[in-house]
Structure 1
Amino acid sequence: MNEVRPQLDELLFSSVEGVSVESVKVTGTIVRVEARTTAMRAACPGCGCWSGRIHGSYLRIPRDLPAAGKFVVVSLRVRRFVCAEDSCPRKTFAEQVAGLTRRFGRRTERLRSALVSVGLALAGRAGARMTDVFGSPVSRNTLLRLITSLPDPPIATPRVVGVDEYAQRKGRIYGTVLVDVETRRPIDLLPDREADTLAAWLAERPGIEIVCRDRAPFYAEGATRGAPQALQVADRWHLWHNLGEAAEKCVYRHRGCLRPVPAPPDEPQEQEEAEPTASSPWPTGHRFAERTRAKHATIHALLTAGHSKRSAARQLGMTLNTILRFSRATTPEELFTGQWQSRATKLDAYKPYLDQRWQEGCTNAWKLWEEIKEQGYPDGYGNVRNYVSRSLRGKPQPVGPRPPSARAVTRW
């Protein structure tokens, strides 16, 4: 043990003055180093006066960096001195070893610096896993506390400062963030977004030449009062955002102009396709229309096969009056007359406009409802949705290349 003591003394405390290693004990996975301070006097942290009068001593046991995979614990005996200055509020004070200990510290400065470096590089959880690897395990909260205890780095007065808001609680509590635009680093956080707070912050920094802000009136007032010498400009993000919104609204209003006019179809084909639609108030594919057509075909098939009307009613589970009504109709379309589809509705006056907009390429039922609502349509969205899904979905749209969307043009 005596042979390795000078080597450990030189290895562990070669850069620390005023410390003498007395013994080194290795027990299992722990290396215990017993040391004591050798300085003759110390400076009072309260008044700065030097004192050599010893009041007593006690043990401090800070942890050090691991060695050869073993935990290193330093049993350091430090002294408490009596302050010789009568006006000093401190009567006694404990000596601190520069580069080794600090007040209330449970780790040596070397271990503390290593943990701070890990925390700055990897933050909480990942840093805690890394400390387990090199043999100095700490929790993620410990790493975060070490980082927050570091003093703020000195920041020079920026020449171009960016001002914007941030949400502490969205919709309720907002603050102000200030960024050095040239270095792209945040400088400070203000607790609110009031003009007085910003003006006071800018007034303390007369070297600011340009204030890059959004278009909020309170930021404009604060920048004018706090930095009258600075040039105020709009930041790049808000310029692009406002330009994009204006472009999207403009393109959406004139999107119909981008669609080419389709070539008119042949007249005979159009008449042939229009005849079955004009004869039936229900379009093909409507569930009530299809059900009525199926019943009509079944009843007429039974009657043609020689069954009586009463027999058809028994087989199909229908009343005799229903069988009579279906038997009198030569086509299913005759049964549709007088149904609820032929009744006048509040949407009838707007159906020509809806058909026109459908042909222009607007297939969004919600957008169509908003447009006719501005024209005075009193009902809700459901009726427009039903009309679009039942009556307009089957109608062909103009033939031709689909124009680019408003957002696509905005991105261009």
Structure 2
Amino acid sequence: MIDSGELVRVVFSGLSPLLVEDVTDEGEQIRIRARTPGGSVACPGCGAATGRVHGYHQRCVADVPIGGRRVLMMVRVRRLACPTRGCPQTFREQVPGVLERYQRRTSRLSTQIGAVVRELAGRAGARVPAAPAVRLSRHTALRLLLRLPLPRLPVPRVLGVDDFALRRRQRYATVLIDAETRRRIDVLPGRTADVLEARLRAHPGVRVVCRDGSGAYAEAIRRALPHAVQVTDRWHLWHNVGEAVRKEVAAHSACWAKAGPPITDGKRAQTTRERRHHVHDLLGKGVGLLECARRLNLSLNTVKRYARVPEPMRLQRAPAYRPTLVDPYRDHLRRRRAEDPAMPILHLFNEIKALGYPGSFNLLYRYITQGRVEADRLPISPRRVARLLLTHPHHLKDEHRRLLDDLTAACPEMTDLAGLIRGFADLLRPREDNADHLDAWIAGARAADLPHLHAFTRGLDQDRDAVRAAVTLPLHNGGTEGVNTKTKRIMRQMHGRAGFALLRHRILLG
């Protein structure tokens, strides 16, 4: 059994540096009267010890609630006079660990509130402590958050670097983590090379840096840490090759879509052919790409796209139709039109209406006039074909695998593209011998007639060392991407109104 005196000492053990004189139960709150112990205290100005009392002062501070009731503590503190000649000042004594200068809460209550505010911040951080009778405003909650000490971590051996948007397309920041332990190291304002270079020079010792394909980060690392190994992120490599594959599939849709509906030769296709003819005509006369864009009133990227295509047919796209209400009755329509090609569409409409067709006559008319009934297969979009190419063969269903085989067999360039994709996917499993395989893969990609993949290989050449490290070392930048995901949650939680200092605190304390 614990007696009442022992119970009081247990409950108020955090106030042991003080002398508790009285505890009063006032119903909604508990009032404690205490005083500081006697003894000498060091002067904050000159450091001389003094016990000379100049006067007394009473401080009212809040402590951790008990039983859902507020705890107010009235503490009598001394005002001491410094004995050193030339230091004519008086000062109030402080109680480290219990009372801090200018604070209206005890240290242990501030610590508990800080743990809540660190996760919630703002209004939510003020509402949650109110349940156990802690009065707090949202502004005070944010001030407490900013006063929490940031962790001091050693310089990591492997550093992860990535950027995130403070305001999309306007302001960005850079986050640094320990790529091995995934602990946050720092958050920098901006994503320029100078910002990262200054941070790396101030904290040397990093051996390996994992990053994305940013040229600014690469330049900063080369200038500040010339001997550090740079590792580009494999996810970004696969994402970039996926974009190139999607463009190549769209460029060759005239080949693999031959079994589908015919490619319409309308006004848009005619305009595309005319623009390509004008671009190649100017290029043949020695006019540069930028001047072509100015003369033809086209964007530079559009001129580049026309310039890299050797044949006009590659600019045509297979029609990409959405699923419609007619699709379930396609086989019936196809069979009836084979039996009687001259059958009126109205008769076909009445027949499928009796079978349960819920759509309109106009929808059926467009479906038939677009040639979707006679096609050997339903149309497929270039994006879906690219997705089939980028999916591991073991993860494809049998019908998807057969469809992919038919599509790639219809075009020699698609066959080369499928082989190159499988080869690049093998490179993303880090092995020591992948460096030679990477050189062989780049040579094979350049030998194929795939202009968009050539642009991807040029990007690999500009960052060859970092790419070689990515396919040979088991390091990656996934931890930094995870931190960015949590950062976005924090920013949504704070409604995008947090300043950089507050946001930095929450990221590093999270």
Task: With the length of structure 2 as denominator, give the TM-score of the two structures.
Answer: 0.52
Query: What's the counterpart of residue 34 of structure 2?
Result: 35
Identify which of structures 1 and 2 has the higher relative contact order when contacts are C-alpha pairs closer than 8 Å and 6+ apart: 2
Query: What's the counterpart of residue 371 of structure 2?
Result: 396
Q: Which among 186, 195, 200 is matched to residue 184 of structure 2?
A: 186
The structure whose residues are more often helix, as a share, is 2
What does 1:3-402 correspond to in 2, within 5 Å? 6=5, 9-86=8-85, 91-259=89-257, 261=259, 359-360=262-263, 368=269, 371-372=272-273, 374-375=275-276, 394-397=369-372, 399-402=375-378
Q: Distance in 1 between matches of 2:242 and 2:225?
A: 30
Q: Distance in 2 between matches of 1:79 and 1:201?
A: 45
String of CA shifts for 1:137-181, please: whole Å, max 9, x gaps: 323333332222111111121222233333334333333332332
Structure 1 residue 249 displacement after superposition: 0.8
Query: What's the counterpart of residue 281 of structure 1?
Result: none
Size of the aligned set, in residue pairs, is 303
Query: What's the counterpart of residue 487 of structure 2?
Result: none
String of CA shifts for 1:35-94, please: whole Å, max 9, x gaps: 111221212233433211111110000011222332211111000112234465x72221
Structure 1 residues 56 and 366, CA gap change in structure 2 (3 angstroms)? farther
Q: Distance in 1 between matches of 2:216 and 2:112?
A: 45
1:259–1:402 Cα contact (<8 Å) kept: no
2:238 maps to amino acid = W
Query: What's the counterpart of residue 420 of structure 2?
Result: none
String of CA shifts for 1:105-154, please: whole Å, max 9, x gaps: 10112221221222234444444332222121323333332222111111
2:17–2:98 Cα contact (<8 Å) kept: no
Q: Distance in 2 between matches of 1:218 and 1:67?
A: 55
1:10 is paired with a residue whose SS is helix
Structure 1 residues 69 and 199, CA gap change in structure 2 (3 angstroms)? closer
1:260–1:400 Cα contact (<8 Å) kept: no
Query: What's the counterpart of residue 321 of structure 1?
Result: none
Q: Distance in 1 between matches of 2:370 and 2:42?
A: 94
Q: Distance in 2 between matches of 1:254 and 1:50?
A: 86
2:35 is paired with a residue whose SS is strand
Unpaired stretches in structure 2, ≥5 consecutive residues? 279-295, 297-361, 392-510
Structure 1 residues 15 and 127, CA gap change in structure 2 (3 angstroms)? closer
Unpaired stretches in structure 1, ≥5 consecutive residues? 263-357, 379-388
Q: Distance in 1 between matches of 2:267 and 2:367?
A: 14
Q: Distance in 2 between matches of 1:394 and 1:62?
A: 82
Query: What's the counterpart of residue 287 of structure 1?
Result: none
Between the two proteins, what is the percent identity of the paired residues? 40
Q: Distance in 1 between matches of 2:66 and 2:194?
A: 56
Q: Distance in 2 between matches of 1:139 and 1:369?
A: 66
Structure 1 residue 393 displacement after superposition: 8.1
Task: Name which one, 1 or 2, has greater alpha-carbon Rg.
Answer: 1
